[in-house]
Amino acid sequence: MDIVLFTENLVKSITREPDLVKVEKFTENENDIILEIMVHESDMGVVIGKNGKMATSIRTIVQAYAHLNNIEKVKININSF
């Protein structure tokens, strides 16, 4: 499972509109990856969480997955549409 599919499944598991979750991968340089997580506007509060705790947890889990798969650096952006 690649990091995009892993992140998408993780975020889908906590949202009310899982069919509207989209994750895109951008490469900054050879070892750095930017993941753009797009969720429906109504799910933003769930994904961010109180005081950003859920977003921090998502970042921690994805970075742990990246570390296990020898990916140097992962940046995560969370947006809504």
**CATH code where residue 25 lies:** 3.30.300.20
- CB of 16 within 8 A of CB of 29? no
As for how many domains the chain has, the answer is 1
Question: Cα–Cα distances in Å, from 64 out to 20, 21, 23, 72, 80?
Answer: 25, 21, 17, 11, 24
Residue 26, beta-bridge partner list: 34
pTM of structure: 0.91
pLDDT in tens, the chain (81 residues): 899 999 999 999 999 999 999 999 999 787 789 999 999 999 999 999 999 999 999 999 999 999 999 888 999 999 998
Q: Which domain holds residue 25?
A: 3-80
Phi, psi angles (nearest 5°) of residue 77: -115, 135
